[in-house]
Structure formats: structure tokens, C-alpha cells
Amino acid sequence: MTRYYLVIEYDGTDYVGWQRQDNGPSIQEELEKAVHAFCGETAVVQGAGRTDAGVHALGQAAHVDIERDTNANTVREALNAHLRPNPISVLQATAVSDQFHARFSAEARSYLYRIINRRAPTTTLRYLTWHVGVDLDARAMHVAAQRLIGKHDFSTFRASTCQAKSPIRTLTSLDVYRDGEVIDIRVSAPSFLHHQVRNFVGTLKLVGEGKWTADNISEALAACDRTKGGQTAPPEGLCLTKVDYPPNSL
């Protein structure tokens, strides 16, 4: 048996999310089907974390154990062949120690949330961005976002369905930058609560619109109450860009 570390890109639009579920096709299920088609083995593809329905990934990480005597290059090529025509692509496969665990070895997760901020509706990027028609002050959003950095009880930004035992997380970075009509919100942390990034974005939008100040963000955080935060931004703007591991684990 060899454990393979996988880096995976996908378009989440037509899936129920990363995790296998009864109500529709998931990224995990399509990968497990591809593993079975390749080597006849029924193996769990363990992801670094779940993504919701409609959320994308440019750098999801996972691991899978394969009995067949093969190699990393063949695994990557075979999975991609069997994944067609799903918009799921294995960018990298690497043989790793069986001590490596995609979820528990991960040191950090990074996401990009992309807003198209203009009056006219979006077209080519409609499934990859959130269209916001009112002018947003990205600089004010960035300044206010810094109030969220560090170790906090993030209950205000946690989905009611979140299964994590603790609402305490440590936010490493949260940066908001505008380039023309595109506003990119980049966020990193060791781990996240369910909907945490989308709830950050929906709340920071209030700052961008001028309805909230940075102090309102601090107050919302301190309230530890989901009803004191802003809306949950829609899934299509969100993309898991990277999962980091300790250098010696890969």
C-alpha cells in the first residue's frame, strides 16, 4: 500500500460540495469512482477540508491509499482520464509516508473570495464570482478586516450547522484589494469554521457600502452571536486556493 498526496482543482458549480452526500454528486465521490475505475480498489479520498456546494478549488489537498503497485505519475494521469468529463483535475500526485494525513497534517488553509463590483451583471465569470452592484470601498473593507486577525471566538461568523467543537480559531491574514472592477479577498488560517469566510465577506460588504465602520466589526466579533454578523456571501465567489503542510511531511 502506498499513500498518495493529491492536489486537486475543481469547478464546484454542479456539485453538492466536497463531501459525499446522498443528495447529489460530490467531488469526493467522483474522485473515489476514478480510483476504483483505475485500480478496482474501494478507497476513501480524504480531503484537507470540506467545501460547500458551488464553492471551487484551485488547490484542494487530499490523500488516498492505493494497494496496486504503481507510481505517482500514473496515478495522476489515470485519475484525470477517469474523471473526464467532470471539471475535476488532479494537478499533482506524490507518494508520501503513511504518517501523512491530508486533514490532520495541514498547517494552514488559504481561500480567495472574488467580487465583481460594477453596475452591469457579470457574464463569463457568473459562476466564479459574486456580483455586487453597489460601489464598495475596498480600502475601508481591508482596514476593518484587520480587526478580525488573531485568536478569537468567531461564533458571530460561524454557521448554525457548524460541527466544530470550539468556535475559537486563529486568523492569520485577511486582505482586501481592488484591481479595477475586481475585489479580491484573500484569507489564511490554520483552520476555519463552517461558512466563516463567506460570513466574513458578507459582513465586510457592509463596511464597503459605508453602512458599518471598523468599530462595528469589532463589536460584532465581541458579541459572539451569529445574528450580529452580516449575510453569508454566496458560494460561487469562494475558492480554496492552497493547503499548506510542514515541509518534512511531504
Which residues of this chain interact with a copy of itself, rule CB under 8 A?
9-11, 56, 58, 76, 80, 83-84, 87-91, 118, 120-124, 126, 128, 239
Q: How far is CA 149 from CA 108, 114, 139, 159, 205, in A?
A: 15, 20, 16, 19, 17
Return the number of the residue (6 or 221) whose C-beta is nearest a copy of itself: 6
Question: From the CB of 218, what's the least distance to a copy of itself, in Å?
Answer: 35
Question: From the CB of 83, what's the least distance to a copy of itself, in Å?
Answer: 8
Question: From the CB of 219, what's the least distance to a copy of itself, in Å?
Answer: 36
Give the active site residue among 11, 14, 52, 184.
52
Tell me, yes or no, if 52 is annotated catalytic.
yes
Cα diameter, the chain: 60
| 176, 145 contact by CB (below 8 A) | yes
Q: Tell me which residue has cell 494525513.
A: 101
Return the number of the residue (83 or 102) whose C-beta is nearest a copy of itself: 83
Question: From the CB of 211, what's the least distance to a copy of itself, in Å?
Answer: 23
Mind giving me the DSSP string for 102-144?
TTTS--EEEEEEEEEESSSPPSTTTTTSEEE-S---HHHHHHH
Q: How far apart are CA 50 and CA 22, in angstroms?
A: 15
Residue 7's identity, in one-letter code, is V
Q: How far apart are CA 51 and CA 194, in angstroms?
A: 9
Return the number of the residue (128 or 162) whose C-beta is nearest a copy of itself: 128
Which positions are annotated as active-site residues? 52
